[in-house]
């Protein structure tokens, strides 16, 4: 996950996300720098883990996911911060069934859902 430091430079932090009750949520330990960043500037980007395509079967690549949005703190306990994420953009990149073209699926609230396929 990327947040913005006080000076505007990016900070990359590991995080776990949860989808529950129709919301995307993240948490962090109390006082963690990513929580401090989000309290000051709620903008963030999350890039899901990715792996190389399986050898000899590029079409089986699971792809990768990216989300950009803003965080709203909903709970700050003595041991953790919890944030709801308002998704401003989501992108899934994968290969087509033949494994020879890149498929980019994206969504944002203005343009809606869009698919682009390219070499």
What pLDDT score does 56 carry?
85
Identify the pLDDT of residue 22: 92
Task: For residue 35, give the DSSP letter.
Answer: H
- pLDDT score recorded for residue 71: 97
Per-residue confidence (pLDDT) for residue 55, from 0 to 100: 86
- Average confidence (pLDDT) over 104-116: 97
pLDDT digits (tens, 9 = 90+) for 22-76: 999 999 999 899 999 999 999 999 999 888 888 888 888 889 999 999 999 997 7
Segments making up each domain of the chain, as ranges: 2-86
Number of other CB atoms surrounding residue 60 within 10 Å:
11
Per-chain mean pLDDT for the chain: 93
Please state which of the four CATH numbers 3.10.20.90, 3.30.70.141, 2.30.110.10, 3.40.50.2300 is assigned to the domain occupying 2-86: 2.30.110.10
Tokens of 93: 């990149």
Q: Is the pTM of this model over 0.85?
A: yes
Percent of the chain with pLDDT over 70: 100
């Amino acid at each position: 996950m990327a947040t913005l430091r006080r000076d505007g430079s990016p900070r990359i932090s590991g995080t776990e996300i949860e989808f529950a009750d129709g919301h995307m949520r993240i948490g962090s330990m109390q006082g963690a720098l990513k929580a401090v960043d989000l309290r000051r500037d709620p903008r963030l980007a999350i890039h899901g883990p990715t792996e190389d395509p399986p050898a000899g079967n590029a079409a089986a690549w699971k792809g990768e996911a990216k989300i950009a949005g803003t965080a709203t703190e909903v709970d700050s306990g003595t041991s953790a911060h919890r944030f709801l994420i308002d998704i401003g953009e989501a992108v899934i990149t994968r290969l087509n069934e033949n494994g020879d073209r890149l498929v980019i699926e994206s969504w944002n609230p203005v343009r809606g859902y869009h698919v682009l396929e390219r070499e």
